[in-house]
Amino acid sequence: MTDIPQNGGFRLNGLHVLALFVGFFLVVIAVNVVFTVLAIRTYPGQVSKTPYEDGVAYNAKLAQLEAQSRLGWRAAAQAQPDGGVAVTFLDGRGRPVTGLKVAAKLERPATEAGRKTVFLTETSPGAYSARPGALSGVWDLSLVAHDGAGARFEAERRLTWP
């Protein structure tokens, strides 16, 4: 006969395994609840206070971009050394687009401080310019051009002045 030594130490039984199993899942559930509560408190998921109106405006923007694509116009903007803005408009065949009314907004990429609105005048066929004042550094140009027939062209460019 063999004797089984009795050392009196810890012995793992089914009740211990059940407690470890339940404890593990309680910790996982507690961590998930904490992260969920923190996520909801810091970002409730609301991107806009007027989502329907934003959707309608987005559809109108898509329609405007489609109409602008059919025009075939192109715009090239340049920062002039004297602080001016020059924009050249060409049609789909590379000819200058004349007779436009062009409004532009200049603003810093990281702040709204110093925002300027200018109207560009035609200096030669297809070339429009304005002098918004002494500019230096990086500015974002957003322009809207209209012709006499009601065609609308929008463009955005990043310009840099010394």
User: What's at 25, amino acid-wise?
Assistant: F
Residue 158's CB is within 10 A of a number of other CB atoms, namely 11
Q: Stretch 8-37: mean pLDDT, rounded?
A: 93
Asked if the model's pLDDT at residue 80 lies above 70, the reply is yes
**Residue pLDDT, tens place only, 24-70:** 999 999 999 999 999 888 876 777 788 888 888 898 889 888 888 88
Sign of CA dihedral 94, 96, 97, 101: positive
**Residue pLDDT, tens place only, 99-151:** 889 999 989 888 877 888 889 988 899 899 888 877 788 889 899 998 888 88
Per-residue pLDDT band for 10 (boundaries 50, 70, 90) equals confident
Q: Which domain holds residue 154?
A: 73-161
Decide if 154 is inside a domain.
yes
Work out how many domains the chain is built from and give that number.
1
Decide if 33 is inside a domain.
no
Decide if 38 is inside a domain.
no
pLDDT on residue 41: 85
pLDDT on residue 24: 98
Its pTM stands at 0.61
Decide if 115 is inside a domain.
yes
Decide if 63 is inside a domain.
no
Decide if 134 is inside a domain.
yes
The CATH number of whichever domain residue 157 belongs to comes to: 2.60.40.10
Asked if the model's pLDDT at residue 7 lies above 80, the reply is no
Decide if 13 is inside a domain.
no
Per-residue pLDDT band for 3 (boundaries 50, 70, 90) equals low
**Distinct helix (H) and strand (E) counts, the chain:** 2, 7
Q: Enumerate the β-bridge partners of residue 122.
A: 128
Write down the mean pLDDT value for the chain.
Answer: 87
The C-alpha atoms of residue 87 and residue 103 are separated, in whole angstroms, by 11
Residue 102's CB is within 10 A of a number of other CB atoms, namely 22
Decide if 62 is inside a domain.
no
